[in-house]
Structure 1
Amino acid sequence: MIYYFSGTGNSKWVAETIAEKTGDELLKITDALKEGKQIHIDKNSRIGIVFPVYAWNLPIPVAEFIKLLDIDGGAYIYAVCTCGDNVGLTVNILKKRIRLCGGYSVKMPDNYIPAFDVDDAQTALEKVRDASKKLDIICGDINSEKARFDYDKGRFAALKSYAASYLFNKYALSSKPFYTEPSCDGCKLCERSCPTENITVVDGMPFWGDKCVQCLACIHRCPQKAIQYGKFTKKRGRYFFDFTEEEINCKKGR
C-alpha cells in the first residue's frame, strides 16, 4: 500500500508512478484521516508514504497520519519526499516517529509562490524527467525491499527543519491572506481541490476555514488565476502537474 498526500500533483504523480512499477495500491492520506481509525501494519506488509516537504518538515496531515499507524516489527516501510530543492531533516524527523527501511527525496517543480515564483516551463520539465529516472532506481529498491536512504538535506538542514519550520507553522498557515479577484466565476474547483476540505463556495464566492495547510492547490488550480495569497502571488506564475508521459519520456535515458 502507498499512502500519499499531494496539493499541486507532484507527490500524486510520484505515488502513481511507484504504484505502477511496484503493483502496490494507492490511498490518499486525507481519506485515512477522515476515517480516523488506527491502521495496523503487519510484519509482512510493504508500506510507502509519499508527500511533499513543507518548510523542510512534514506537512500537518502527514504528521497526523503517522499517529494512526500501528506497525509490527519486520514491515518494510519507506518514505519518498518531494521538494523543490532539498528536504532538510524531514526524513530524519520521520525516522524518529516510525521505523523506516528506506527514505528518498525527489526534486520536483517549485510551487510555493507566496515566497518565490514557479520554475520556468523548461526547468520544470527537466526536473520531472530527472525525477522519472530517479524513480526507476527507487522502485528497484522497493521491489527488492532494500534498506537504503538517498535524500538531499541541503545546507543548514537543522536550522531549516526546526527554526524555519516552526516559523512557517506559527505564521504561514493563516487563511486570512487569501482573497479572490473579480475574475472569479464561482466554478468551485478550489473547493473540490482542497485536500483538507477547508474551502466552501457560498453564492459564488470561496471562503477559507481554519484548516489550511498551505498546499496551495486552490491557487494553482484556479482556471481564472483569481485566487491570491497576500501581496506577492498576483505577479507570479501558477503550476499544477500536467505533464504527459510522452513529454517525460522524450529524453529519458539519454
Structure 2
Amino acid sequence: MSHPEYSTCSIHYFSGTGNARRAAEWLADAFRSYGTKTSVSMLSEAESEPDSGADENRLLGFCFPTHGFNAPPIILNYLASLPRGTNDVFLLNTRGGTKLGPIFFPGLSGVALLIPALILLSKGYKIRAMHPLDMPSNWLSLHPALRGNAVTAITRRCRRICTRVAGKISEKKRLYRWFFELPLDLCISPVSVLYYFIGRYALAKTFIATPACNHCGLCVKECQLGAVRFKNGNPFWTYQCESCMHCLNSCPERAIQTMHGVTILLWGLLLMGLPWLLVSGVATVFHLQVGFSTVSLILWLLASVVLLLPLGLSYRLIHYLMRFRPFAALVSYTSLTRYRWWGRYRPGSD
C-alpha cells in the first residue's frame, strides 16, 4: 500500500474481561503499520464528549462485546449521542467463540451489529465494515472458563483475523461477512429484546461478595459503569451492571461469585411462577383465554417487568443476610463459580 486511504483512525471500545480491548489494540497496530495515525480509547460512564469525527478522512471504529445477542447499552447510548457525520465507520463485536479439538466454533451476534449500524446510518455515517470476532467465550455465570490452550489458540487466530480486517478496511473494501449470518441472527433477535428489557436487570442481581472479600474495593474502582458500590461495607451490584464479568474475573480473593442456587430458586418463583399467577388473575377478571396466545405472552412479559422490583428487594435481603455465616455458606457452596474447577477467564498469549 503506497499511502494510507485514511489519515487518522479513532477506535473506541467497551470491554469487561479484555476481549474487545485486545481486538481494538490489534486493529490499531495493523492500521499503524499501514501508515494511519490511530488512537484507541475506552468508553465508560464518565465519557461525556462524543467523538464528532469532523475530519472526513478520519475513520471511526467501535469494538464491543455481545451481551444478550445485542450491543451493550453503553455502546448504543454513545452512538445515539453522536452528532451527524459522514465519516466511514467500522463495527466489530466480540462474541463467545469456543474450540473443540482442532475445530473452532463461532458465537452468535443477534442484533449486536445491526442496531449500531442502523443508528449510525440514521446519522449519515457510512458503514465500511461489520465484522464479528469469535474471541474466547468468557461468560462464567453460564459455563466454566475455557482451558488455557484453547484460549491461546482462539486469541492467536483472532489476531490474524483482525490484521486481515484492518488491511481490507484500509483499502476501503467493504466487509459484510455478518450478512451471511443474518437469517440465524434474526431468529434469535427476540432473545436480545428480552435481555435488553428484562434479562440484564435480572442478571445484575446474580452477583454477590462472599465472606472471603477483604474489602479492597477493586471491583468498585474498576467497574467502567459504576455499577458496583459499597453498601453496608460490602460490594453491592446495582441494575447498571452489564454482567461484563470483569469483577468476577479480576477479584484477587475469588470472593465474587454468581449465586447459581439462589438464582434458580428466585427466578423460578419470581420470574416464572408468579407472572403466570398474575396472568391467570388478569385473564379471569377480563374473561381472557389463557394459553400460548399473544395476549398471554404480553401479560407474562409485563408481569415479569413488574416483578423486577421484588427481585431487587430480594437481592437487598440476600445482601443483608450475607453477614450471617450459615447463610453466606449456603449461598457460596451452591455457587458453581466457588469451585476451582470452574476457573476464571485468563486471556491467552498473542
TM-score range, shorter chain: 0.7 to 0.9
Equivalent position SS for 1:25: strand
Quick one: which of 222, 226, 234 aligns to 2:251?
Answer: 222
| TM-score, L = length of structure 2 | 0.64
Match of 2:109 among 83, 87, 105: 87
TM-score, normalised with respect to structure 1: 0.86
In 2: Cα distance, 1:198 partner to 1:124 partner:
28
Q: Greater shift after overlay, 215-224 or 231-240?
A: 231-240
2:8 aligned with 1:9, yes or no?
no
Q: Which has the larger radius of gyration?
A: 2
Q: Is 1:78 paired with 2:182?
A: no
In the alignment, structure 1 residue 101 sits paired with structure 2 residue 114: no
How far apart are the structure 1 equivalents of 2:338 and 2:192? 25
Distance 2:243 2:222 in 1: 13
**Residues 1-254 of structure 1 aligned to structure 2 (within 5 Å):** 1-23=10-32, 24-30=38-44, 33-42=45-54, 43-73=56-86, 75-84=87-96, 85-99=107-121, 100-151=127-178, 153=181, 156-160=184-188, 162-169=189-196, 170-174=198-202, 175-201=204-230, 205-231=234-260, 232-235=336-339, 236-241=342-347, 243-244=348-349, 248=350
Task: Tell me how far apart the structure 1 counterparts of residues 207 and 116 of structure 2 sit (CA, whole Å).
Answer: 30
Alpha-carbon deviations, 1:58-81, whole Å to 9, x = none? 1111111111212422x1100111
Q: Would the alpha carbon gap of residues 147 and 154 (structure 1) be closer, same or farther in structure 2, given more than 3 Å must change?
A: closer
Change (3 A) 1:35 1:106: closer
Indicate the percent of aligned positions where both proteins have the same amino acid: 23
Counterparts of 2:182 and 2:88, CA distance in 1: 26
1 CA distance for matches of 2:191 and 2:207?
A: 22
Q: 1:208 to 1:149 in 2, by over 3 A?
A: same
Give secondary structure in 1 for the equivalent of 2:149: helix
Question: Residues 154 and 186 from structure 1, CA distance in 2 versus in 1: closer, same or farther, beyond 3 angstroms?
Answer: farther
Partner SS state of residue 200, structure 1:
strand
1:82 and 1:105 in contact (8 A); partners too:
yes
Structure 1 alignment gaps of length 5 or more: 249-254
Partner amino acid, structure 1, of 2:210: E
Which of 1 and 2 has higher RCO (CA within 8 Å, sep 6+)? 1
Matched pairs, number? 240
1: CA distance, partners of 2:251 / 2:47:
28
Unaligned runs of 5+ in 2: 1-9, 33-37, 97-106, 122-126, 261-335
Per the TM alignment, residue 155 of structure 1 is displaced from its structure 2 partner at its CA by 7.2
Shift of 1:227: 0.5
CA shift in 2, pair 1:197/1:29, >3 Å: same
The one-letter code sitting in structure 1 at the alignment partner of 2:78 is F
After superposition, the Cα gap between the structure-2 partners of 1:35 and 1:53, relative to the gap in structure 1 and judged at 3 Å, is closer
- Per the alignment, in what secondary structure is the counterpart of residue 96 of structure 1? helix
Structure with greater proportional helix content: 2
| Counterpart Cα distance in 2 of 1:69 and 1:119 | 37
Q: 101-110 or 195-204, which moves further after superposition?
A: 195-204
CA distance in 2, matches of 1:184, 1:154: 44
Residues 153 and 233 of structure 1, relative CA distance in 2, 3 Å threshold: farther
Q: Which amino acid aligns with 1:157?
A: D
From the superposition, tell whether residues 88 and 49 of structure 1 become closer, same or farther in structure 2 (CA, over 3 Å). Answer: same
- Per the alignment, do residues 106 and 223 of structure 1 end up closer, same or farther by CA in structure 2, a change over 3 Å counting? same
Q: Do the aligned partners of residues 230 and 159 (structure 1) sit closer, same or farther apart at CA in structure 2, a change above 3 Å counting?
A: farther
Q: Could you tell me how far apart the structure 2 residues matched to 1:238 and 1:182 are?
A: 19
Cα drift, residue 38 of structure 1: 4.3
Q: CA offsets per residue over residues 194-221 of structure 1, 9 Å max, x none?
A: 1101122467521222311111211111
**1:166 Cα deviation from its structure 2 partner:** 2.1
Change (3 A) 1:69 1:224: same
Counterpart amino acid of 1:63? L
